[in-house]
Amino acid sequence: DTAVSQTPKYLVTQMGNDKSIKCEQNLGHDTMYWYKQDSKKFLKIMFSYNNKELIINETVPNRFSPKSPDKAHLNLHINSLELGDSAVYFCASSQGEGLYYEQYFGPGTRLTVT
Amino acid sequence: AQKITQTQPGMFVQEKEAVTLDCTYDTSDPSYGLFWYKQPSSGEMIFLIYQGSYDQQNATEGRYSLNFQKARKSANLVISASQLGDSAMYFCAMREPRSGNTPLVFGKGTRLSVIA
Q: Helix, strand, or coil here: B99?
A: coil
Residue A59 pLDDT class (50, 70, 90 cuts)? confident
| HSE-CB of A59 using CA atoms within 13 angstroms | 0
Across all residues in chain A, what is the average pLDDT?
91
User: Per the CB < 8 Å rule, is A105 touching B108?
Assistant: no
Nearest by CB to B35, which of A44, A102, A108?
A102
DSSP-assigned letter for residue B64: E
Chain B residue numbers with beta carbons less than 8 Å from the beta carbon of A46 are none
The dihedral region occupied by B106, where left means phi > 0, alpha psi between -120 and 50, and beta the remainder, is: beta
Beta carbon pairs, A and B, within 8 Å: 67
pLDDT in tens, A16-50: 999 999 999 999 998 899 999 999 999 999 988 88
pLDDT tens, position by position, B8-45: 999 999 999 999 999 999 999 899 999 999 999 999 99
Residue of B31, B43, B106 with shortest CB distance to A99: B31
Q: How far is CA A27 from CA A106, B95, B103, in A?
A: 12, 21, 18
